[in-house]
């Protein structure tokens, strides 16, 4: 019949494996999750399951994904120092100076495409401003 051909997207084996497997999806890292309480040895209840000793796995190269190396960090800082800020970044800093955080976010979102990237850029620019103010205040005292 037709009922057998229909497949519920929520009951796919892939999502079950991702939820029940040892490895967690990259969006949620193991350090962000709360530690799981030990199993009771009973097959029912909140912490049900057979008591086992966790196997300690060696670190994989894929675990380093997303971490910038020292060299890349240095090169990016050097380029930032030489080239300065892009025009849209200068505009964001000007908006942040006058206290228009929401407008700065809108400008960043329009230029970068996503809300998440825009929030990150706004935070980066506000950190730059904070450092400039801290550095500027130190120079005035001399």
| Number of domain units in the chain | 1
Domain that holds residue 123: 85-141
**Whole-prediction pTM:** 0.56
Indicate whether 42 belongs to any domain: no
* Assigned domain for 62 exists: no
The answer to whether residue 75 sits within a structural domain is no
Distance of CA 93 to CAs 14, 82, 125, Å?
Answer: 44, 18, 6
CATH code where residue 93 lies: 1.10.10.1760
Q: What is the pLDDT of residues 45-104, one digit of tens each?
A: 898 999 999 899 999 999 889 999 999 999 999 999 999 999 999 999 999 999 999 999
Tens of pLDDT, residues 48-64: 999 999 899 999 999 88
């Amino acid at each position: 019949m037709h009922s057998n051909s229909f497949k519920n997207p929520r009951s796919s084996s892939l999502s079950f494996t991702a939820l029940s497997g040892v490895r967690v999806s990259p969006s949620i890292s193991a350090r962000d999750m709360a530690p799981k309480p030990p199993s009771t040895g009973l097959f029912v209840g909140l912490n049900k399951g057979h008591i086992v000793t966790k196997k300690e796995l060696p670190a994989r190269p894929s675990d380093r994904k997303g971490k910038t190396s020292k060299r890349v960090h240095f090169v990016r800082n050097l380029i930032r120092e030489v080239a300065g800020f892009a025009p849209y970044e200068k505009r964001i800093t000007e908006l942040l100076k006058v206290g228009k955080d929401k407008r700065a976010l809108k400008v960043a979102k329009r230029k970068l495409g996503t809300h998440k990237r825009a929030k990150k850029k706004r935070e980066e620019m506000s950190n730059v401003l904070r450092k400039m103010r801290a550095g500027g205040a130190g120079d005035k005292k001399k």
